[in-house]
Structures are given as C-alpha cells and as structure tokens.
Structure 1
Amino acid sequence: MSVIRVATGEDAGPIAHVHVASWQTTYAGIVPEAYLAGLKETEREASWREWLTLDVDVFVAELEGEVVGFVSGGAIREPVEGFDAELFAIYLLREAQRRGIGMAFLRRLSEALKERGFASMVAWVLEDNSSGEFYSRSGGVRVASKEMEVGGVMLPVVAYGWSDLGMIGVDVAHGSV
C-alpha cells in the first residue's frame, strides 16, 4: 500500500531520482536521446532543494518506505482562460504505475489547491506522451496547445484542464471515484 505525504527538503534526492528515471522511460522516443542521457540526478536534486522552498504544493508517494513518485502544483504560470492553478509535474517510477497512485496524487493536489483558494487546474503534457488517457479518465479535457523546446527540438504540448477541482477523478456517469 502506498502512502502519500507532503514532501520535505530531505526528499530532494529521491524526487530527483524519480524525476530523471521517469523522464528516461516516459519520454524515450519522444525527446532527443542525447537530452535524456544527459539528465543528472545531482543537478535535479539541487533544483528540487530550491523548488521545495517555494510556494508550491509537492507531495511524494512511498511504497515500502521508498519514494516512488511525486506531484507538484500551484498558481498557474502561463495564463489559460478559465483556469487558475497548474499541475506542474506528476511522475511515478515505472514499477509504481497502474496502482492508483496517480489518481490519488491528483486528488491530494486538488485538495491542497482548493485549500489555498484555487478553483481549477491545467496540466501541460507532451502530446506524444501516452499519459493523455490518464488525464482524460480523471476528468481532464484538452483546452489548449502550443509548442515547447526540449533538448533543442520543438515538441507539441497540450493542456488538459479541470474546470472544477472538486470533480477530479469523479466518474460523473456512475457517481463514483
């Protein structure tokens, strides 16, 4: 069983590990291989040490005492009409996927954002990322698109949006989560 908790400064290293490992598995064949090969956990750890001091919500998931994923979000960084918060990142190690942790992350983040006065959320996702189905199942709908530079290449990204944070993960047709 997984435990989801607020991330602390001591989680910077484990988060960096999940971040790099997830990018290397999730984006293989989408993002240039040289970029993925050049990702360094030590550099990500330094970034996460700083990130964890900012006004953002960051949660980690643990399985058997080990951090296997993280989610972060806060105030929207780039305006998308009708949305005030943003899911910045959600990553799970491959072996921790398909266990309900991703949906639990979305719910926990949405609760934290609601507590801070936010009402809605978007998530920018590489269009070729297979996670689009996950966002759709959780109630997200495509609301915008653009291109983003990653590793010297412009890649299409789409924004999935949830207009009501209270509806994330709710199966409207069956009234369940």
Structure 2
Amino acid sequence: MSEIRVATVQDAGAIARVHVESWQTTYAGIVPEDYLANLDVVQREASWREWLTFDVDVFVAEVDGEVVGFVGGGAIREPVEGFDAELFAIYLLREAQRRGIGMALLKRLAGSLGERGFGSMVAWVLEDNSSGGFYSRSGGVRVASKEMEVGGVMLPVVAYGWTDLGMIGAGVARGSV
C-alpha cells in the first residue's frame, strides 16, 4: 500500500533519485543517451532542495517507507489558453508504475491546486513518452504542441489539459494507471 504525503526539504535526495532513475528508464531511446548517462542525483538533490522552498505543491508517494514517486505543480509558467495551473513533473520508479500510485499522486496535486483556487491544469510531455496514455486515461486532452531542447536536441512535446481539476481520474479503474 502506498502513502501520498506533502514533500519536505528532507525528501530532496529521494526525489532526486526517483527523478534521475525514472528519466533514465522512461526516456531511453528518446533523449540523447549521453544526456541521460550524465544525470546526477547530487546535482538534482541541490535543485530539489531549492525547488521545495518555492510556492509549488509537491507530494511524494512512499511504499514501505521508501519514496517511489513524486508529483509537483503550481501556477502555469507558459500561458496556454484556458488553463491556469501546470503539472510540472510526475515521476515514478518503474517498479511502482501501473499500481494506481501515479493516479493517486495526480489526484492529490489536483486537489491541492483546487484548494489554492486553480481550476484547470496543463502538462507538457515529450511526445514519444510511452506514458502519454496515462494522461489520456486520467482525462487529459491534447491541447497544444511545441518543441523543447533536451540534451542539445529539439524534441516534440505535447500539452495535455484538464479543464476541470475535479474531474481528473474520474472513472479510472484502480490499478490501471
């Protein structure tokens, strides 16, 4: 059973580990190999220590006391018409995927953002990311596209949008995401 809780600065190392490991498994064959190989947990930890002091909502998922995933979001950074909040990141270790933890994290973030007065949300996702189906199953709809530089290469990204935070995950069977 997983537990979802508010992330603290003390979680920075665990979040950084999940962030690096999930990038290396999720984006293999999409993002340049040398970029993935050079991702550094210590550098990410420093970034997360700082990030966790900002006005963002970050939650971690724990299984047996170990952080296996996280989600973060807040006010939209780049305007997308009709949306006021943004899912900045959601990552799970491979062994924690397809157990309902991702959906639980997404719903927790949506609830928190809703409590802060946001009504809708968008997430920018690498188009070739195999997790794209997760966003569709949770109720997200493709609303925009652009290119983003990662590791010196321009990659296509798409925005999935949810016009109503309260509807995220409605009708999704437990364990399917």
* Residue type of the alignment partner of 2:164: D
Answering whether residue 33 of structure 2 is matched by residue 24 of structure 1, we say no
Unaligned runs of 5+ in 1: 173-177
Q: What do you get for the CA RMSD once the two structures are aligned?
A: 0.8
* Residue type of the alignment partner of 1:90: I
Task: Find the aligned partners of 2:99 and 2:135 in 1 and give their Cα distance.
Answer: 15
Task: Find the aligned partners of 1:28 and 1:136 in 2 and give their Cα distance.
Answer: 22
Q: What corresponds to 2:43 in structure 1?
A: 43
Q: Give SS of 1:58's match.
A: strand
Q: Give SS of 1:5's match.
A: strand
Task: Find the aligned partners of 1:69 and 1:132 in 2 and give their Cα distance.
Answer: 17
Q: Give SS of 1:123's match.
A: strand
Answering whether residue 99 of structure 2 is matched by residue 96 of structure 1, we say no
* Residue type of the alignment partner of 2:153: V
Q: CA deviation at 1:171?
A: 2.2
Task: Find the aligned partners of 2:156 and 2:134 in 1 and give their Cα distance.
Answer: 18
Q: CA deviation at 1:142?
A: 0.1
Identity of counterpart residues, as a percentage? 84
Q: Give SS of 2:10's match.
A: helix
Task: Find the aligned partners of 2:68 and 2:137 in 1 and give their Cα distance.
Answer: 22
Q: CA offsets per residue over residues 48-98 of structure 1, 9 Å max, x none?
A: 000000000000000000000000000000000000000000000000001
* Residue type of the alignment partner of 1:5: R
* Equivalent residue pairs, number: 172
1:1-177 maps to which residues of 2 (within 5 A)? Answer: 1-171=1-171
Normalising to structure 1: TM-score of the pair? Answer: 0.96
Unaligned runs of 5+ in 2: 173-177
Normalising to structure 2: TM-score of the pair? Answer: 0.96
